[in-house]
Structures are given as structure tokens and as C-alpha cells.
Structure 1
Amino acid sequence: MIAKIYENVIVKNTDKGLGVFAVRNFHKGEVVIIGRRVELLTERTLYSLQIDFNLHAELDAPGRLINHSCNPNTGIRNNQFGGYNFIALFDISEGEEITWDYETTEYVFISVFQCLCNSSNCRGRLRGFSFHPVEIRHKYGEFIADYLKI
């Protein structure tokens, strides 16, 4: 794929497939990407995100193309478009890959099991929010799917 530029980010090939990268600096708390729902589903797909226990949403690009990290630079927040906003958890530099923790939306993860993030605190495999220890749940605070805030 030839790189594709969106507002504030660019999608390009990486060794993990497609990735989303900042084309400018972002400050902690700033919305990096607004993910808008394009389809509501009752079953998962390769690119869907869980939005309730039995509902999934496919987001528009570039939201659906953001890679996972066990040490992400964005967290998610439900938005008015039926999807998720990706919010900077700390300052993000131009050129940095935008990442989020897939387990902050997926209650039980069933599509990608082996983690490829290579972060220093990589969990090795993705299992889902229901398997997170309390300290990881608290790490993200408000930046998890609303349906998981029970």
C-alpha cells in the first residue's frame, strides 16, 4: 500500500502490516483520531471493535488500522459517532506510531492472540479485558470502553 494521509496521521506499511503514524506532535489529553462507526455488527470481524457485550463496530479508517501495544500512547473513549476517540495518554511526537491496547475494548479476545508490540512490558498474548489484573484496569482509568466500566 502506498502511504495514505488523513487529518493529523498517515497510514503506511510496517513490519506488522499497516500502521498509523503522527504527522504532527500531540499533547497529553488531545484527541488524536476520531473513530466513526461505519457498521454495527453482532459478531466480530478482523477489524471490528467491541462496543458492548454482544455488539461490535467497524470504524472508518484510520481508526480501524491502529495497531495494538501493551504500552500504548492512546486510550479510547466512546464518542457520539458510535465509535471511539483515541486520546493521547502522554505527549506523542511527530513520526511516532499511534497505538492503543486492544484489551480496553474486547471483553474476551478471540482474533489475535500473540502480541507483536515488543514493548518492555509486553504481556505476550492478548486475552481480553476480563483477564486484566486490577492494576492494569486502573492504569487506563477512564480510557476503556463504557460497557466495561461496570
Structure 2
Amino acid sequence: MAPIAEPDLVSRPNDTTVEASKKSAALLADRLYVQRSDKPFASGAISRVSLPAGALFARITGASIVPKQRYTTVQINRTQHIELNSDLVYCNHSCRPSVVFDMAKMEVRVVDDRPLREGEPVTFFYPSTEWEMDQPFQCNCGADNCKGWIDGAKNMSREQLQGYWLNEHIVELLKERDGA
């Protein structure tokens, strides 16, 4: 199996979560802020910058591999998940996302079809990284193409996933599932 990331992008066993979180927070402070809510799962990341389509938004640094998937983790390959240990964890799902989480490159990029504007929510399409969801949910993103129930790529048809950027591990798992 290929390495999951460059050595400096994922916490080494002797790194502490607190140190990793501080490092990542400093790097992200100029890119996003968290709009907090008292409602469960309603806080979200908001962009502090305007960037063109396809531009690098942030590198994923300070993340740590976890033994078990949770609702806050992001799948990085067929079998592993990471905790982001940064405010990137507040990037919510949208069926019309503003960014992609490229787990092979450990980076977050603006979607290819439109720019990201300052003040816009920083969102990604959860099935682009997740084969199965720890906590499936009813999507309320309001997009014209809203998929409704979000339960990972495994439980979505090819038609539902069409037009979305997908991580390679999701593409490979879809090929296996569909026998293609």
C-alpha cells in the first residue's frame, strides 16, 4: 500500500494532539474562521479569502490517524481515517461544495467550476472522502442538486455521484462495488 501522506503532514506518534492543533490553527487563521452556533452540528467554517477556481485553500497538516472512524474524521484511504486537529473539522457538507478535500495530496482546494468568495461557507461533498458514514444524515444544504440522505459513496448510485470530484480510494471502491 502506498504511503498515506508526506511525513510532516500527519502527526508522528510522539506529537501531541494539542501541539498539532496549535500548529494547524496558526496556518489556517488567515484562511477561515468558525461561525459558531448553539445548535448541534450547525457551526461552520467561513472563508476569510477570495480565491480562484482550483486554487489551493489549505494544506492538511497536524492531522492524526485514528483507530476508529467517528463523525469528525475524514477517510484518507480504503481503511484509515484521520482527525484533522484543526478548524477544518468545521467544513460542513454541501451538495454544491466550495472546496474538495484531496486526501492523496493532503490539501484542500477550491472546486474547479467556480471561485471561492470571502465570507462564503467552506464546504465539501462528504461522499468524496467517505465510503460509509459514521453518522448518516438528512442533508439540508439547500442546493438545487441536493442529494437528501447522505450515507457515504457506498450507498449512492453512480448517477448521484456524477459531476463530483472524488478521492481515488472512493473511485477504486466504486469500481469494485460496480464490477467496473
RMSD: 2.2
Matches of 2:71 and 2:80, distance apart in 1: 14
Q: How does 1:17-28 map to 2 (within 5 A)?
A: 17-28=42-53
Bigger Rg over Cα:
2
User: Are 1:149 and 2:165 matched, yes or no?
Assistant: no
* C-alpha displacement of 1:93: 1.1
* C-alpha displacement of 1:79: 4.7
Matches of 2:85 and 2:56, distance apart in 1: 16
User: Are 1:95 and 2:122 matched, yes or no?
Assistant: no
CA, structure 1 residues 136+7, in 2 after alignment: closer, same or farther (shift >3 Å)?
Answer: farther
Deviations 1:51-110 (A, max 9, x none): 223211001312211010011111121255xxx322111201111111001111110223
Aligned length: 142
TM value normalised by structure 1:
0.82
Q: Aligned residue for 1:31?
A: 56
Q: Aligned residue for 2:66?
A: 41
Matches of 2:168 and 2:72, distance apart in 1: 19
Give 3-state SS (helix, strand or coil) of 2:140's partner. Answer: coil
Q: Aligned residue for 1:113?
A: 137
CA, structure 1 residues 112+133, in 2 after alignment: closer, same or farther (shift >3 Å)?
Answer: closer
Matches of 2:168 and 2:62, distance apart in 1: 15
Q: How does 1:9-20 map to 2 (within 5 A)?
A: 9-14=32-37, 16-20=41-45
Greater relative CO, 1 or 2 (CA 8 Å, sep 6+): 1
Give 3-state SS (helix, strand or coil) of 1:148's partner. Answer: helix
Deviant stretches of 4+, over 3 Å = 135-138
User: Are 1:54 and 2:76 matched, yes or no?
Assistant: no
Calculate percent identity across the aligned residue pairs.
21
Matches of 1:24 and 1:67, distance apart in 2: 17
1:99 is matched by which residue type in structure 2? Answer: T
Matches of 2:151 and 2:136, distance apart in 1: 9
Deviations 1:17-49 (A, max 9, x none): 221111121100111132225221231123101
User: Are 1:123 and 2:147 matched, yes or no?
Assistant: yes
